Amino acid sequence: MRTKVAIIGAGPAGLLLGQLLHASGIDNIILERQTPEYVLGRIRAGLLEEGTVALLDEVGAGTRAHREGLVHDGIELAFGGSRHRIDMKAATGKTVMIYGQTEVTLDLMNAREAAGLTTIYEASDAQPHEFDTDHPRVSYVKDGAAREIACDFIAGCDGFHGVSRASVKPQAIRTFERIYPFGWLGILSETPPVSHELIYNNHERGFALCTMRSTHRSRYYVQCPLDDHIDQWPDERFWDELKRRLDQKAVDHLVTGPSIEKSIAPLRSFVAEPMRFGRMFLAGDAAHIVPPTGAKGLNLAASDAHYLAVALREYYDEKSSAGIDAYSATALARVWKAVRFSWWMTSMLHKFPDTEGFGARIQLAELDYVVGSKAATTSLAENYVGLPF
C-alpha cells in the first residue's frame, strides 16, 4: 500500500490534517490502534477558538458546530467571594465556542467517511521506519497480519504516549516539562450550567471551574491531590466541595444531579523540540501538552494541522521545501506562547503547596490587576480567544 502522507492517530489532529490534505488533493491514510467507538468515548476539551472553527468550516465539518455550539463573548474570574467578567469580544472582537472534542472528532470522522478516504482502525503495533531517508514507511498489524504503508511523509498525531515521538533517537530531541502538584477532578452531569459563561474560581480550598457542554449538560472541576482516587469522591462529596469554592450567587443557582462521567486528570506542561525529524512530523499532543486551564490543547492541535497542511501543499504544488523546513519553528512559536498562557492561568488560579501568606497575596494582587487594568484584561482576552495563525 502506498500514499503520500501516512498519518498515525485518528484523534482531532490526525483527522483534521487528513481533511486539510484531502482538500488540497494530497492522498493520505490514517492508522488508528483503537476502534472508532473507543476514540469517540474519550472525554476531552470543549472550547474552540475562532481559528479552529474556521478550519472545520474549511474542510466541510463545521455545520453542526455552528448549529449546536455555544458562542461565548466572555469568561468570569471569581476570587475573594466576587465574580468579575472579562469581556473578550469587547477587548479583541473575537469569541470562543463551547463544543465538545468528542463532537469535533465525530464531525471529522463523518466528513472523512463521506469523502471515501481510508482510515484503518484497530491497526496495532504501528511503527514509523526510515523517516530520516527519502523512503519512509509505516508498518502495522491488522487482523493478525503484518502490513506496511510506503509514503512520502509521516505525520505523528498519536498523542503523548504514542509511538511517533518514541521512535526518535534520544539525542535528536529535547523535551521540556513541568508537572503540577495537583489534579483536576471533573464530573459531567445532565444539569443546566450554573452560568451561561465559564467561571474560573480562585479559592483558599483550591481551584474550581464551572463550564458546560450544552444548555442541559454541565462540566465541573475541582482541584484535588494527585493521589486521590475516584472512589474517594462520591457525587455528594463533590457537590459539597464545589459549593465551598463558589461565590454565593453561583451556589444559589447551582443545580446538582448524578454524574454521568467522573475522572481525575493530572496537569502538566510539556514540549518536545523539534517537531520535525526528516520526513516525519509531530503534531498535537505527540509534541506538546498544556494544562487545561487555558483551553489550548485541542486548539494547538488544530493550528499544528494547519501549519503542516500548508507546508505539504507548498511542497507538492510549488515543489518547494520551504514550508516543511519551517514547520517546526513556526508551530513551536505559537505552542510556547500557549504554554506560557496556560502556565500563567494555572499559576494564578490554583492552590500550590507554597500558596500561603505571600503566595496567596500575590495571586489576589494579580487577579485584581487583571480585572482592573484594560491592558491586562486585553492581554488575557487576546490569549484566551487564540493568537493568530
Residue 365 located in a structural domain: yes
Q: Which of 296, 306, 350, 351 is an active site residue?
A: 296
Considering the domain architecture, whether residues 237 and 333 belong to the same structural domain is answered as no
DSSP sequence for 223-280:
EE-TT--GGG--HHHHHHHHHHHS-HHHHHH-----EEEEEEEEEEEEEEE-SEETTE
99 an active-site residue?
no
Considering the domain architecture, whether residues 47 and 109 belong to the same structural domain is answered as yes
Q: Which parts of the chain fold into alpha helices (H)?
A: 12-23, 36-40, 50-58, 63-68, 88-92, 101-114, 163-166, 235-245, 248-253, 297-318, 322-349, 358-372, 374-385
For residues 84-97, give the mean pLDDT: 98
| pLDDT tens per residue across span 244-296 | 999 999 999 999 999 999 999 999 999 999 999 999 999 999 999 999 999 99
Considering the domain architecture, whether residues 171 and 248 belong to the same structural domain is answered as no
Cross-strand partners of 220? 187, 210
180 an active-site residue?
no
Considering the domain architecture, whether residues 337 and 209 belong to the same structural domain is answered as no
- Give the C-alpha separation, 51 to 302, whole Å: 8
For residues 302-317, give the mean pLDDT: 98
Considering the domain architecture, whether residues 217 and 276 belong to the same structural domain is answered as no
Q: Are 317 and 10 in contact (CB under 8 A)?
A: no
292 an active-site residue?
yes
Residue 82 located in a structural domain: no
Residue 258 located in a structural domain: yes
Residue 315 located in a structural domain: yes
- Going from the C-alpha of 156 to that of each of 153, 214, 287, 356, 360, the distances in angstroms are 10, 32, 9, 42, 41
pLDDT confidence bin for 330, thresholds 50/70/90 = very high
Considering the domain architecture, whether residues 252 and 295 belong to the same structural domain is answered as no
- Domain span at 373: 180-267+354-385
Considering the domain architecture, whether residues 172 and 316 belong to the same structural domain is answered as yes
Classify residue 68 by its DSSP letter. H
Question: Which CATH number fits the domain that encloses residue 211?
Answer: 3.30.9.10
Q: Which of 22, 72, 288, 351 is an active site residue?
A: 72
Average pLDDT over the chain reads: 96
Considering the domain architecture, whether residues 198 and 167 belong to the same structural domain is answered as no
Residue 85 located in a structural domain: no
Q: What is the pLDDT of residue 51?
A: 97
Considering the domain architecture, whether residues 218 and 313 belong to the same structural domain is answered as no
The answer on pLDDT for 157 being more than 90 is yes
Residue 140 located in a structural domain: yes
Q: Quote the pTM value.
A: 0.95
Q: Measured between alpha carbons, how far apart are the two ends of the chain, in Å?
A: 34
Residues 6+ apart with CB under 8 A from 30: 7, 8, 9, 10, 14, 15, 18, 112, 117, 118, 119, 120
Residues 6+ apart with CB under 8 A from 172: 277
Number of independent structural domains in the chain: 2
Q: What is the pLDDT of residue 79?
A: 97
Considering the domain architecture, whether residues 380 and 258 belong to the same structural domain is answered as yes
For residues 204-223, give the mean pLDDT: 95
Residue 32 located in a structural domain: yes
The answer on pLDDT for 355 being more than 90 is no
| pLDDT tens per residue across span 44-83 | 768 999 999 999 999 999 999 999 999 999 999 999 989 9
The answer on pLDDT for 43 being more than 90 is no
pLDDT confidence bin for 240, thresholds 50/70/90 = very high
The answer on pLDDT for 30 being more than 80 is yes
Considering the domain architecture, whether residues 158 and 185 belong to the same structural domain is answered as no
pLDDT confidence bin for 42, thresholds 50/70/90 = confident
Question: Which CATH number fits the domain that encloses residue 42?
Answer: 3.50.50.60
Considering the domain architecture, whether residues 172 and 188 belong to the same structural domain is answered as no
More confident residue, 130 or 353: 130
The answer on pLDDT for 210 being more than 90 is yes
Q: Which of 203, 221, 292, 307 is an active site residue?
A: 292
Q: Output the nine-digit C-alpha cell for 255.
A: 443545580
Residue 279 located in a structural domain: yes
296 an active-site residue?
yes
- Going from the C-alpha of 38 to that of each of 16, 17, 122, 285, the distances in angstroms are 18, 20, 10, 18
Q: Are 265 and 292 in contact (CB under 8 A)?
A: yes
